Structure 1
Amino acid sequence: MTAIPWYVLAEKNSEGFIDYFIVGEHFKRFFDSSWKGDKYGFPKTQPLGIVWLFLLGMALPWVQMIFVKLWKDRKNVVKNKWLVFLLGWLLWTPMFFTISKSLIHTYVLPVMPPIALIVFYYWDELKNKKAGVIISLVLPCLAALTLMLGLVNNNFEKYSNTDKYLIEDYWDSSEPLYYLGTKSYSSQFYSNGKVKSLSIEELKEKMKQQDPFQIIISDRTLRKQKELDIAPLSVEGTSMKNKIYSYH
């Protein structure tokens, strides 16, 4: 009996899976930074080639040290199959993403193992190793400090891109929840599909009625729609880019 491929089962149980996950996430995301199918946020539009800056920053200072060492030892490197393999492994990911505008800094993580192996290979020949270790600890320490600051006074909620905290902390589930414009995927997920999109005109009509409701509006939308009068609405909660309002 022939086994049914996993992606066929996924498509059967979640129609549109192949188009979204296989085609969208693996091809459209790479070639089109404005791809509209991104359900988990927004396309991360970046300048071409910025992946190299991500590499130099996240692997500081080891990647700089080994590049200098490899260049000085280039005549021997081409004769060493192990170093050629590691160098190809290291360069493949940044080269692959050089022509893509849709990426984030974590995309360079696959190159960390070859960097570590090359550092190990040249360890006895590297200079200023103690300084290298100290410098390499700066980024992790800053990340840990940022994490701790984020845990204080719920700063993650205030500076988060997701609508999770707005809905969990400020939405009264007994009242209808709306989203001005195209609703975000996170608002759909954390409201269990109860959030509904409203146009500007529909919101104006809602504010003429007596029925209470809550609505999420992005700060960007308000800046664009300066003629929209939201005086009847009161702010209940704030995130990095959105606010949740109540109408009573």
Structure 2
Amino acid sequence: MDDIVDNRVALVTGGSRGIGAAVALRLARDGADVVLTYQHAAEAASAVVAEIEAGGRRALAVRADSGDRDAATAAVERVVDRFGRIDVLVNNAGALRVGPIGELGPAEFEEVVAVNVRAPFLASRAAAAHMTAGGRIVNIGSNVAERVTFPGFSLYALSKSALVGLTRGLARELGPRGITVNQVNPGPVDTDMNPADGPLADAINGFTALGRFGTPDEIAATVSHLAGDGGAYVTGAVIAVDGGFNG
């Protein structure tokens, strides 16, 4: 397969496991050098780095708390210091707080909005300062930005809906510079946080047209397309990779 992100430098936030790890590995297989951030899972992050390097690409894991106001900008600067540039930013790190609104107070609000909205804004701001024509920003959202099927997701849905606005606004702003900005909204994906054999799996599968959970690799394939040459004329798009959950 031809490399589609050949010799580009990518930053994937929250890249130690799940969708983030799959994205980091896919971008590397498609020709990119990859920096990934992690908060706690140092061993898992090191394993992703080792796999990327075994495949012949360069990689680096950077510890960063996306809830920290300065972490996103610092991560971008670390990429530029190490590799001299940044071509692709994937805003994947996320915070999930689920429950009745009466149980979600200011602290939970601040946490979710800081990680899911502020961090992508600041990372995109920092990356855009270094990107040239052909730069790519891909935000990882959620199907709940379009359809909230179960109760308790009001705060999370709010944050992912805000990310849609950021995506479309930045696409318009950065388009004249040849930089694309898109959002991928996964549906139910089989990860350790939401396993395909979990207690709600049957109910969730019932909402999808395909009747199954997706895999992290299926999300990563769409991200890599948007990050590469194939995504050159796609910007401001919100793409559902959800098995027809919102169809």
TM-score by length of 1: 0.24
Higher helix fraction (1 or 2):
1
Q: Which has the larger radius of gyration?
A: 1
Which of structures 1 and 2 has the larger relative contact order (alpha carbons within 8 angstroms, sep 6+)?
Answer: 2
TM-score by length of 2: 0.24
Higher strand fraction (1 or 2):
2
